[in-house]
Amino acid sequence: IESKIWLLRALKAAMWVILTLTGWTLLGLLAAGVIQLFLRFLLAYLTRYRYRAIRHSMASRWTGLATLEALDQRSGLKRTWERMQKLYSAEGGCPDLVYAGINVSGSHEVMAMSPEAVRQVTSRDTVDFVKPETFKNMISRIIPQGLVVSEGDEWRHERKLLTPLFHYAQIRDVALPATVAQVHKTIALIEKRRNQKDTADDDTEAKGSSVRWTVDEGGNPSTIAVDLFGHLALGVVIDGMFGSDLDRE
């Protein structure tokens, strides 16, 4: 009996030590994460002067933080759009660059607004515009390979392969007609679904349709819009790259 009591006490003491060490370890990791984040924001705050050459800013005047109003699902995007409209009015047009401030990762955020600024970012060597590690780590889980996450020689090779698809003649002769055709198909699809609501053989007719649209009748309007846009965009890409005779099934 005494040996069992000592064994239970030893197990209890061991569990207490393990839980204590685990708790202190988690607390230490949490403290290290907070300190690292604080140092990142402090370094970003002290280096704000590098972006003073950018005339237009949407960052907080005192903290330099980027506004997070766009994350508000109710009216955040509307307020952000109104601020951009005021900025355009004051500039007399679209500015080249806008300093958005320090984002949630502690990095400076600059938005390329004008077509020329976007062209410089997307066409120049990736040595000048390196993709942030946080961006690559996030996107690589969805798109592990490709132009979005590649760098250096690999990026230049992939961009060279895609260049013919965006040539003016290709857009004029293939992409534009494909877009118009897919828009007409999408409009016809919307009208068809609207008429099918009053028919008893909705499922039968939908199965015989060459274009399928499976959305619940009581679905979210945003979901329906995304579904429609997905059909439209996919149809344009398929027709533009492979021709309209390809079977989408």
> Could you read off the pLDDT of 117-152 as tens digits, one per residue?
888 887 766 567 777 777 777 777 777 777 777 877
Half-sphere exposure in the Cβ direction for 69 (13 Å, CA): 15
pLDDT value of position 216:
46
Q: Flag whether pLDDT at 108 surpasses 70.
A: yes
Which range, of 20-24, 83-87, 229-233, averages the lowest pLDDT?
Answer: 229-233
Average confidence score pLDDT of the chain: 73
CB 87 within 8 A of CB 22: no
Residues with Cβ within 8 Å of 157's Cβ and at least 6 positions away in sequence, in order, are none
> Could you read off the pLDDT of 163-209 as tens digits, one per residue?
777 777 777 777 778 788 878 887 887 787 777 765 645 555 555 54
- Helix segments in the chain, DSSP class H: 2-46, 76-91, 115-123, 133-139, 152-162, 168-170, 176-196, 202-207, 221-242
Q: Flag whether pLDDT at 39 surpasses 80.
A: yes
| pLDDT band, very low/low/confident/very high, at 225 (cuts 50, 70, 90) | low
